[in-house]
Amino acid sequence: MTLSRATIFQLFKYTVYVLLTMNVFWFFIEEHAAAALQFANGLDLSRIIEAYAATIDTAAWVVLLLMFELETYVLDAQQQNRIVTWSLHGLRVFCYAFIVYAFYGYIVNLTYLNSTTPLPGVSDLCALAGADWSFAVNLDEYVMINAQNCSTFSDALRFFQFDNMRAVVDAESLQAIRNLAWVDVINAGVWLIVVLVLEIDVRLQEHGRFEGWALRISNVSKFVLYSLLLIAAVYWGVNGDFVDFWDAFLWLVAFVFIELNVFEWHQEAREEAALDIPSAPI
């Protein structure tokens, strides 16, 4: 049995969607470990976004992605009745609420990283070995300091403590972590603009107005936005961890599929419009 090119393409697309769903689990594991240190006295429900911003963000984006897939590819015009349309829109609004909430969480996390204080009397990490202190090796990644590893983290003579945490970092690593937090904020903000543009595209396409200047402005703006997202992914690949890079890369691939869906939908609408043009009288 041989698979057609279209079937292989669809299998690849849905494999990417499954991998993105799995990333929710990986982010939860990473953030749960960090939350155990950051919220050692317990995590209030009101602060859950501070601990699990990436998990909540990714989960909401996965649902939103599936909503776009349904509207731009799976469901045809006959299936999109009033109930289906309002259900899709309602779920998307629900997802957007969590995505904006996660964006706020990234901002809170960045603010928290700017509130470190110098740790007095410590010029050697080995002085903290065996005392339940951790070293921040990356954003949301902490390693317990012990006699075996204390000399491997940093040779700095000055360290900083995160507020309400038994976790320290040197100046160089702190700046690197803050840079990654800034990339989180910028990346989340750019994605919000991307889906705003995409929502406008879909609404214009539904009303047959995705032409001319609207199409050109959309293409130019998305070229700039996706370029920024690609830069963020490369930055994570060089300075962050693999999970962040892999997630950013998969999201770019996933939304390429959504853009292709919109393009195909646009082409089909143009072809149908051309067929509806009455022939000139003889």
Cα–Cα nearest to 135, from 118, 148, 154: 154
Which whole number is the average pLDDT over 202-210? 76
Q: How confident is the model at residue 279 (pLDDT cuts 50, 70, 90)?
A: very low
Check pLDDT > 70 for residue 277: no
Which pLDDT score is estimated for 44? 77
Check pLDDT > 80 for residue 1: no
Which whole number is the average pLDDT over 154-181? 92
- The span from the CA of 142 to the CA of 157, in Å, is 19
Instruction: Tell me how far apart the 2 most distant CA atoms of the chain are, in Å.
Output: 97
> Which of 27-36, 77-86, 149-158 has the highest average model confidence (pLDDT)?
149-158
Which pLDDT score is estimated for 209? 75
Average pLDDT over the chain, rounded to an integer: 84
Which pLDDT score is estimated for 144? 93
Check pLDDT > 90 for residue 200: no
- The span from the CA of 99 to the CA of 86, in Å, is 20
Better pLDDT: 32 or 82: 32
Of 13-27, 60-74, 185-199, give the lowest mean pLDDT range: 60-74
Q: How confident is the model at residue 177 (pLDDT cuts 50, 70, 90)?
A: very high
User: What element of type H or E holds 137?
Assistant: strand 134-138
Q: How confident is the model at residue 94 (pLDDT cuts 50, 70, 90)?
A: confident
Which pLDDT score is estimated for 223? 92
Which pLDDT score is estimated for 125? 93
Which whole number is the average pLDDT over 188-200? 90
Which pLDDT score is estimated for 183? 94
Which pLDDT score is estimated for 235? 93
Of 2-6, 166-170, 234-238, give the lowest mean pLDDT range: 2-6
Q: What is the percentage of the chain residues whose pLDDT exceeds 70?
A: 90
- The span from the CA of 55 to the CA of 99, in Å, is 11
> For residue 67, which phi and psi values (nearest 5 degrees)?
-65, -45
- The span from the CA of 149 to the CA of 224, in Å, is 44
Check pLDDT > 80 for residue 186: yes
DSSP string covering 208-221: T---HHHHHHHHHH
Of 11-20, 58-67, 195-204, give the lowest mean pLDDT range: 195-204
Check pLDDT > 80 for residue 126: yes
Which whole number is the average pLDDT over 237-255? 87
Which pLDDT score is estimated for 76? 66
Which pLDDT score is estimated for 172? 93
Which whole number is the average pLDDT over 168-192? 94
Check pLDDT > 90 for residue 153: yes
